[in-house]
Structure 1
Amino acid sequence: MGLSVEYVVRETAGNLWRNRLMSLAAMLTIAVSLALVGSALLLKQGVATSTQAWKGGVQLLIFMQPNATKSQDRAVVTQLQTLPSIEKYFYVDKAVSYQEFRRLFANQPDLLNSVSESQIPPSYRVVLKNPSEAPSIGQIFNGQPGVKAVDYNFAAIQTLEKISSIAQGVIIGLAVILLLSATVLILNVIRVAIFSRRREVMVMKLVGATNWFIRIPFMLEGFTQGLLGALIAAGAVLAIRALFNYLIERFQVHLLSGFVLTSHDVLMTEIVVFVVGVVVGTMGSALAVRRYLEV
């Protein structure tokens, strides 16, 4: 007995409608859990972008004037080489700094359009042997000829990363619990559908229906629930991104000024949301069919 698209769609839609309340509960549970997963991924990506300059153990940033002379630059390098508290340092030129600037302030197009590469200061990024000495070392360079500004906000960066890691852990934990709950809900929805159609299944077997002919509508039911839940979650992810951008712009948090969620970040998050949603829906229905459908 061959399958037809019309038959599969009709049977799947009928099963979903007959158990619409349980199906809706499963879809909403998937949507909430995947929205949490998406939030955790966006948080991780945003924090990674905003703390880009502090990677590799950097505890001190020395921004040079865009028009600093070679002698002024050499004076800074000499101090960096002679100070015993400095473990290592590296130079970031204007071109690289400008690319970072465009990433960090991607949420502020007016600012991007008003600043050219020639206006962006190069910088020295410094790793200290003792991070607690950052303020005192920073004072040595602050106000020095050719130096535009010194930033030693490393402690706040560490705090941000720790808070972010804790928040991500809690969010992912809740999401996993909800995804497991969604899997169980889908399993129960399919079980009820199988039970309500047990006589019909027996008749189909008697007239020669194959195992997959009987199973596919039930499998597609779980797949559909997972897909619809993922669609709702995908919309929530876009809303969460908009909320992040609004809060950062509204409250002008300096530490989060570079909390940028690019279109690529959002796209990858949406892909993860869709894949997880489909996997959860298919897995729940597969477990139910294997356990409760005797064919």
Structure 2
Amino acid sequence: MQLTYVFSELGNGLRRNVSMTIAVIVTIFVSLTLVGMGLLLNAQATKAEQYWGSKLQITVFLCNENSTTANCVNGEATDDQKATIEKTLDSNNEVASWRLQSKQEAYDKWREAYVADDDTESRVYESIRPSDMQESYWVQLKDPEKFLGIKSAVQGLPGVNTVRDLREVLKPIYFWMNVMKWGAIGIAAFLVVAAILQVGNTIRLAAFARRREIGIMRLVGASSLYIQLPFLMESLVAALIGVGLASGALLVFMGVVIYGTLRPTSNIVAWVDWGDGLWAVGLIALLGLALTLIPTLVMTRKYLKV
């Protein structure tokens, strides 16, 4: 296979269809950026639920040495008190499941979310140890509207410091996060369809412009792959540029908005990190290649027949 011909045809094709190629690149860029934003919002919602709990959960915090409530007069919750709490959870019809979060797990979550802005906060941050945290039971409810029974059953038990119910606070937060996530993915889906159609139109115009050369190559016995390769290369170039722009936009968003604004100023939740950003970039890269190369293979089989 003569690669000189392939690259020559690639350059000719890009020059002939420069406006269509730019349109494909822009559509891929916008659609993949929105898909990436949807993936980041989904990762953020997952982190928020891991940190605060979902609208189907309540959290039962146990006493530690620093607790001052009436149920904590004897200090740290004992094993017998924990056994009583667990028996109450097991026997309540409102409870679907529960798990015990250790002090170390609570400490790790807190350190992931907390950011110290000055020397005073840094000293406080470094002074806190896992032993200062509270163990807690994360209780999954069968019905988010039926929680008063289990709440009243456990909040008066010895060893229970507080019962946290953030369902009404978290409900609008999760609602709008889901709206933004699915809105971004929904708009991206329409743009992905537009990108596929534009790829098809680009291939159709390119095949029409080269119909004489294609006919000659068929007559001399050139293989389908040899004829298709320049078209695939054109689509690959458009995909790589579009993926590169979308990836750059996501990484700029991570650096400026997440790491530059939200993480240093807000400790209310663990924010998405570079690992989540790179995961989103990897997925949109695969999607970008798929939505250009697959339509190109399908369309060339149709339009390159002579």
**Is the structural similarity TM-score above 0.5?**
yes
| 1:10 counterpart residue number | 8
Partners of 2:185 and 2:160 in 1: CA distance: 47
| 1:286 counterpart residue number | 297
Aligned pair count reads 288
| 2:262 counterpart residue number | 248
SS of the residue corresponding to residue 73 of structure 1 reads coil
For residues 83-130 of structure 1, the C-alpha deviation after alignment (integer angstroms, 9 at most, x for no partner) is: 979746543211222232234348989686564433333223345676
**Residue type of the alignment partner of 2:61:** I
Listed as ranges, the gaps of 5+ residues in structure 1 are none
Q: CA deviation at 1:220?
A: 1.7
1:145 and 1:122, CA in 2 relative to 1: closer, same or farther beyond 3 A? Answer: closer
**Residue type of the alignment partner of 1:51:** E
| 1:190 counterpart residue number | 203
Verify the 8 A CA contact 1:19 1:189 in the aligned structure 2: yes
SS of the residue corresponding to residue 59 of structure 1 reads strand
| 2:77 counterpart residue number | 73
Q: CA deviation at 1:150?
A: 4.9
**Residue type of the alignment partner of 2:24:** A
Q: Percent identity?
A: 25
Are 2:259 and 1:232 aligned?
A: no
Q: CA deviation at 1:190?
A: 1.7
Verify the 8 A CA contact 2:192 2:291 in the aligned structure 1: yes
Verify the 8 A CA contact 2:61 2:160 in the aligned structure 1: no
For residues 165-200 of structure 1, the C-alpha deviation after alignment (integer angstroms, 9 at most, x for no partner) is: 232222211111100100111111121111112222
Q: CA deviation at 1:246?
A: 4.4
Listed as ranges, the gaps of 5+ residues in structure 2 are none
| 1:95 counterpart residue number | 104
Partners of 1:268 and 1:262 in 2: CA distance: 10
Verify the 8 A CA contact 2:64 2:77 in the aligned structure 1: no
Verify the 8 A CA contact 2:94 2:149 in the aligned structure 1: no
Q: CA deviation at 1:244?
A: 3.7
1:8 and 1:141, CA in 2 relative to 1: closer, same or farther beyond 3 A? Answer: farther
SS of the residue corresponding to residue 305 of structure 2 reads coil
Partners of 1:282 and 1:17 in 2: CA distance: 20
**Residue type of the alignment partner of 1:235:** G
| 1:164 counterpart residue number | 177
**Residue type of the alignment partner of 1:16:** L
Verify the 8 A CA contact 2:40 2:280 in the aligned structure 1: yes
Are 2:276 and 1:262 aligned?
A: no
CA RMSD of aligned residues (A): 3.6
- TM-score, scaled to structure 1: 0.80
For residues 126-151 of structure 1, the C-alpha deviation after alignment (integer angstroms, 9 at most, x for no partner) is: 45676553997499569x9884x653
Partners of 1:97 and 1:293 in 2: CA distance: 62
SS of the residue corresponding to residue 91 of structure 1 reads strand
Partners of 2:76 and 2:128 in 1: CA distance: 24
